[in-house]
Amino acid sequence: MWKLILNKSHVTVKRLLFCVFMLASLALVRTPQAVAAATFSIPITIKGLSSDRSVTVTIDGKQVGTIPGGGSKSFQVDKKTSHTFQVDAEVKGVCSSYAGRSVCSRYKNPNNVWTVDLIKTENCEMVPVCYEIYVCDCCCCWWEYFCGTEQYCFTETELSEKGHTFEYNTEHEAAVDDAHGQNSDKWVAADSDLNVWAVESHVVKDESSVKERDVFQHWLVNGVPMETRNLVMKIDQPYYFKAEYTTETQYKIDASSQFGAPIMDSPKGWYMKGQDATVSVEKEVPMEGLMGALGGKEVFVAWRGGKGVESKSPTYTFNVDEPVTLQAEYREDTFQPIAIIGVLIFALAAALVVFALYSKGRLFGPRQGGVGAPRYGSQPTIIQAPAYTSSPVVAGRATICFGCGATVPAGATMCARCGKPQ
């Protein structure tokens, strides 16, 4: 049998041996790698967004679907190139309205774009390789096979990341409305603190007779009053802050008088609008000089203002609703000093009359001391003169002196004895 085999042609034997060698070589070659898939599945997760909101996902500029807040979704991409994933940079949240003003929440993602890169890896290994060579000698030609090992290199592609999470930050709108302070509308990160303040009062008008100012009353925080002027609020929802003021109006009341000193219950004369004001002045004021010393006085008549007589009482109380200028009006009361002066003048005149009558001896009878008694002094002066003999009284020719009783000739203008006129 072996002879039969050996007698076959040389070429056939060699071919048979080559086949046996090839079968043995295949057993030594490593198991071939499985064919890699052409696409990858990339899971995308949305974090920080409420479940009632969703975002739009775009891959390489093409919209591919939406994902709700807190959810995940996988997207198929090929392995040939890198890919860019993009979601919404901002998602609007819930809005609320207070006093006609709307404030909202929103979700912000500063990193809303993600690029997944393609990573290429080159691998090499030694594998068996067989060659067929055509050989000739002097008698014939044939094919011979030679086998060995050779380095084989191949490239594998992978994506840099297997998935990605897009995280959103919650922001709330904080609007501040203050006519005399802060006026702002800004977005504040959730759960951070915000300081809101207001002035105690603000002057609106400052004139000589009118003053107005706005006085802080309270903050309306989402419609709820809070009396503290300075607030530190934790922003856990949208907020609308509105400063409420009440307007206080003051009016100047001026009171003057030529006599006396007007007194008001507000020392500086400023009263709130709607407040009661009281002004008063002396009912009677002594006059100056001699008339005042004799009891003359200025007597209050009325308070006069721009509308005429405001009151006839020295103490006047009224409601203030505008600036008022009051003037106290007085009249002179001179009855007493005039009466006193009249009495004095009458007394003086009476005294002069009495004195004149007394001097003429017509009051209380003839003066004591007899004929020739001196008019003045206590010691009489004796003048030597011839004895006086009264002439007989002749009817129609002589009269009697009413001073000394001597006979005075008819028609004489004075007494020759006492010198008194007749």
Q: pLDDT band at residue 3, thresholds of 50, 70 and 90?
A: very low
Confidence of residue 167 (pLDDT cuts 50, 70, 90): very high
Q: HEC states along 115-158?
A: EECEEEEEEEEEEEEEEEEEEECCCCEEEEEEEEEEEEEEEEEE
Residues 216-271: tens digit of each pLDDT: 999 999 999 999 999 999 999 999 999 999 999 999 999 999 988 899 999 889 99
Looking at per-residue pLDDT, the higher value among 393 and 183 belongs to: 183
Quick check: 206 pLDDT over 60? Answer: yes
- pLDDT band, residue 56 (cuts 50/70/90): very high
> What value does the mean pLDDT take over residues 99-123?
89
CA 234 to chain centre: 23
Q: Tokens for 100?
A: 């006609």
pLDDT confidence of 122, banded at 50, 70, 90?
A: confident
Q: Which residues pair with 241 in a beta bridge?
A: 176, 221
CATH of 39-167, one of 2.40.30, 2.60.40, 1.10.357, 2.10.25: 2.60.40
* Locus of tokens 């990193």: 111
* pLDDT > 90 fraction of the chain, expressed in percent and rounded: 51
Pick the residue with more confidence: 391 or 413? 413
Q: What is the pLDDT of residue 214?
A: 95
pLDDT at 210 over 90: yes
Is residue 367 very low, low, confident or very high in pLDDT (cuts 50, 70, 90)? low
pLDDT for 153 equals 79
Question: Could you give the residue ranges of the DSSP H alpha helices within 213-315?
Answer: 289-293
Q: 12 or 353, which is more confident? A: 353
Any idea which of 22-36, 39-53, 215-229, 248-262 has the lowest mean pLDDT?
22-36
- Mean pLDDT within 92-116: 94
Q: Is the pLDDT of residue 131 over 80?
A: no
Cα–Cα distance measured from residue 38 to residue 138, given in angstroms and rounded to the nearest whole number: 55
- Mean pLDDT of all residues in the chain? 82
Mean pLDDT of 11-18: 51
Q: What percent of the chain has pLDDT over 70?
A: 81
- Predicted pLDDT at 16: 52
CA distances to 32, 41, 121, 172, 221 from 191, in Å: 59, 37, 47, 9, 17
Q: How confident is the model at residue 6 (pLDDT cuts 50, 70, 90)?
A: very low
pLDDT attached to residue 302: 95
Q: Please, what sign has the CA dihedral across residues 336, 340, 341, 342?
A: positive
What single string gives the DSSP state of each residue in 17-36? Answer: HHHHHHHHHHHHSPPPPPPP
Q: Flag whether pLDDT at 149 surpasses 50.
A: yes
- Prediction pTM value: 0.58
**Mean pLDDT value across residues 320-345:** 91
CA distance 279 to 267: 10
pLDDT at 241: 97
List all residues 6 or more positions away from 317 whose beta carbon is below 8 Å from its beta carbon: 276, 277, 278
Residue type, 59: I
Q: What is the pLDDT of residue 9?
A: 47
Closest listed residue to residue 86, CA positions, set 56, 106, 130, 108: 56
Stronger pLDDT, 421 or 28, i.e. the higher one: 421
Q: Which residues contact 403 (CB under 8 A, 6 or more apart)?
A: 360, 361, 366, 415, 418, 420
